[in-house]
Amino acid sequence: MQDVLLGIQAFFARDVILVSLDLADIGLVAFVIYRLLLLIRGTRAMQMAIGLALVFVVHQAAKRFGLITVWTVLDSALTYAVLIVVVIFQNDIRRALMRVGRRPFLRARAERDTQTFEEVIKAATALAQKRVGALIVFERDAALDEFIEPGTEIDATVSKELLYGIFLPSFENPLHDGAVIIREGRVWQAGTFLPLTASTKLDRAFGTRHRAAIGISEETDAVVVVVSEERGAISLCFNGNIIRDLDAGSLREALLGLFYRRPKRKGDREPSATIKTVRTTSAHDGVPERASTPSSSGVEEAEEAS
């Protein structure tokens, strides 16, 4: 401990300019690491990152204790680790770089997304009133290409009329059976099929549509709006959780909270004082309970709740 304190003291005993440059350097690296963690959080990339970290720990332990065979094998594997990561996550890396280039237009993007939310809410409400099932997926940081069975590419502006027409059941309308994927504020694909959740603890009342919504939210950071055909109810899935029986207002509040989390400031009310209560079910416990709908000020707690 004394050596650490002496090292810190020696660090700040240098010229002010050198100390400032080093602090800026450390801060920049920390920020980059933080953004990378946000990018892969809730995706398979995080699992792979944890696996690579464990391999690196074993590699160092083998080197420390003289396990030559283990160290040689892992050393060869780690030599190509960067290449493996780039090949596997090339789509995610490309999308991340594209988002960095669009940062100056965040306000325009927020306005576009808000309009998209409104159209989805109108469509979901209309479909729920008619008891027509629907599955609408918002792609976020994690690309969905490797998790879904592709449907029909549309590349159209999100509108209530388009979504309503896609999900109307008809023999001549094969798109109504699958999910609609919204990417970058536009309807990217329709009629896609999602992976079902592997959880065996879900309520038996959940059908294939809800299990697919939970499944894609377990595998990625996607947010899914589900309209039940049997009950005419609207649900929202994220991070393996499902929030049930939402109306238009609570669905809007949840979407804005999930997509536009704002930092908590001094004087803000606690999240529990600004959110509504609805039924929610976690893919890990399968038991309906009382929980909170995520709002713009309380989404952190809702994302971590199960």
Check which CATH number belongs to the domain holding 291 and give it: 3.40.1700.10
> Which residue, of 75, 103, 131, is where some domain finishes?
103
Sequence-separated contacts (24+) of 86-90 with Cβ below 8 Å: 88/48, 89/45
> Which residue, of 82, 103, 124, is where some domain finishes?
103
Same domain, 114 and 43: no
> Which residue, of 103, 130, 146, is where some domain finishes?
103
pTM: 0.62
- Please name the residues in contact with 50: beta carbons below 8 A apart, sequence gap of 6 or more: none
Same domain, 89 and 109: no
Q: What is the pLDDT along the chain (306 residues), one digit of tens a residue?
A: 788 888 888 888 888 898 899 999 999 999 988 877 776 665 666 777 788 888 889 989 988 888 889 888 888 888 887 787 777 777 666 666 665 555 544 555 666 788 999 999 999 999 999 999 999 999 987 788 888 999 999 999 999 999 999 999 887 888 888 999 999 889 999 999 999 988 777 777 788 899 999 999 988 889 999 999 988 999 999 988 899 999 999 999 999 988 876 444 444 443 333 333 334 444 444 434 333 444 444 444 445 444
**pLDDT of 177:** 86
Domain that holds residue 231: 105-304
Same domain, 79 and 112: no
Q: Do 208 and 178 meet the contact criterion of CB atoms below 8 Å apart?
A: no
How many domains does the chain fold into?
Answer: 2
Same domain, 234 and 91: no
**pLDDT of 113:** 82
